[in-house]
């Protein structure tokens, strides 16, 4: 179980300030997606749930407050910060076999299914991998420990469409519950029964069923029949099942959201 109660945090960098505000969420033996454009706060929230950055409020994993958890091996993430333990892919894999019970056979099978030669890839330093290779390796390592809870940040970014479909199949196969953050909407068609949360400007909205979201439209203003109402650039928008407005499922990527609104 993953539960967030009134979670807020502030990040400051080079004079800029970004806030995540009063987030509440509960997942119980289910997987959900957090979708939103780049810069909306998805990765920041994932880092907080992974225990990598401080937060206000409470985050519970299986009923235990995150700040008090030690040595919890049933939880895996693909965040880069979790893999700065060795230089090469091979050494990282070997360490995680001992530390976290990563299954080498599952890891190699993941790469083979993606038509990647494992023997060529594992010799490379992690920092030398392309953006696409890096996210594939980190996602493969996260899933290869056969975790019960997964926390994946942008597992499809910089990955070609055919490989994205294989990655989503692996996500469906491994882990009983967890969160997948992405701005790619097309891939959601493969998980129509998942819950979806929308993150915009540090605020979290939802959940709604993925299938309902993809079949809905976005219109300006607050509508009584809306399945969700969001705020973008201080304006209210309703997501409705009726036709009209901007078709949510046709955006392709939520990075287009600000442009079309």
pLDDT per residue over 8-60, tens digit each? 999 887 778 889 999 999 999 999 999 999 889 999 999 999 999 999 999 99
Which residue ranges form the domains of the chain, and what is each CATH number?
A: 2-74+147-260 (3.40.50.300), 75-146 (no CATH)
Question: What integer pLDDT is reported at residue 151 of this predicted model?
Answer: 96
Give the percent of the chain with pLDDT over 70: 99
If phi > 0 it is left, if psi is from -120 to 50 it is alpha, else beta; for residue 65 that is beta
Question: What integer pLDDT is reported at residue 124 of this predicted model?
Answer: 94
Judge contact between 17 and 235, C-beta under 8 A.
no
Q: Does the pLDDT of residue 244 top 90, yes or no?
A: no
Question: What integer pLDDT is reported at residue 66 of this predicted model?
Answer: 95
Instruction: Decide which of 250 and 240 is more confident.
Output: 240
Question: What integer pLDDT is reported at residue 254 of this predicted model?
Answer: 82
Question: What integer pLDDT is reported at residue 246 of this predicted model?
Answer: 83
Question: What integer pLDDT is reported at residue 50 of this predicted model?
Answer: 94
The token pair at 209 is 């069923």
Q: Does the pLDDT of residue 248 top 90, yes or no?
A: no
Residues 81-104: what's their mean pLDDT? 93
Q: Does the pLDDT of residue 243 top 80, yes or no?
A: no
Residue 82: burial class (beta carbons within 10 Å; 0-12, 13-18, 19+): middle
Judge contact between 205 and 180, C-beta under 8 A.
no
Q: What is the mean pLDDT of the chain?
A: 92
């Amino acid at each position: 179980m993953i539960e967030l109660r009134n979670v807020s945090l502030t990040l400051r960098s080079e004079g800029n300030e970004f806030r995540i505000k009063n987030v509440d969420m509960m997942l119980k033996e289910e997987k959900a997606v957090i979708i939103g454009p780049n810069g909306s706060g998805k990765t920041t929230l994932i880092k907080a749930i992974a225990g990598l950055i401080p937060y206000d409020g409470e985050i519970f994993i299986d009923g235990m407050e995150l700040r008090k958890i030690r040595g919890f091996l049933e939880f895996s993430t693909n965040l880069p910060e979790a893999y700065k333990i060795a230089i090469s892919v091979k050494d990282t894999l070997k360490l995680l076999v001992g530390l976290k019970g990563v299954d080498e056979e599952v890891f190699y099978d993941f790469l083979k299914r993606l038509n990647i030669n494992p023997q060529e890839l594992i010799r490379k330093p992690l920092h030398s991998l392309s953006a696409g290779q890096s996210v594939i390796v980190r996602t493969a390592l996260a899933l290869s420990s056969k975790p019960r809870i997964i926390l994946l940040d942008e597992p499809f970014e910089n990955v070609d469409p055919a490989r994205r479909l294989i990655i989503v199949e692996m996500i469906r196969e491994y882990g009983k519950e967890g969160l997948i953050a992405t701005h790619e909407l097309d891939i959601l068609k493969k998980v129509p029964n998942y819950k979806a949360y929308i993150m915009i400007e540090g605020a979290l909205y939802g959940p709604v069923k993925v299938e309902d979201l993809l079949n809905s439209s976005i219109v300006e203003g607050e509508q009584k029949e809306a399945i969700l109402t969001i705020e973008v650039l201080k304006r209210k928008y309703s997501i409705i099942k009726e036709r009209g407005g901007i078709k949510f499922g046709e955006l392709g990527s939520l990075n287009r959201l600000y442009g079309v609104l």
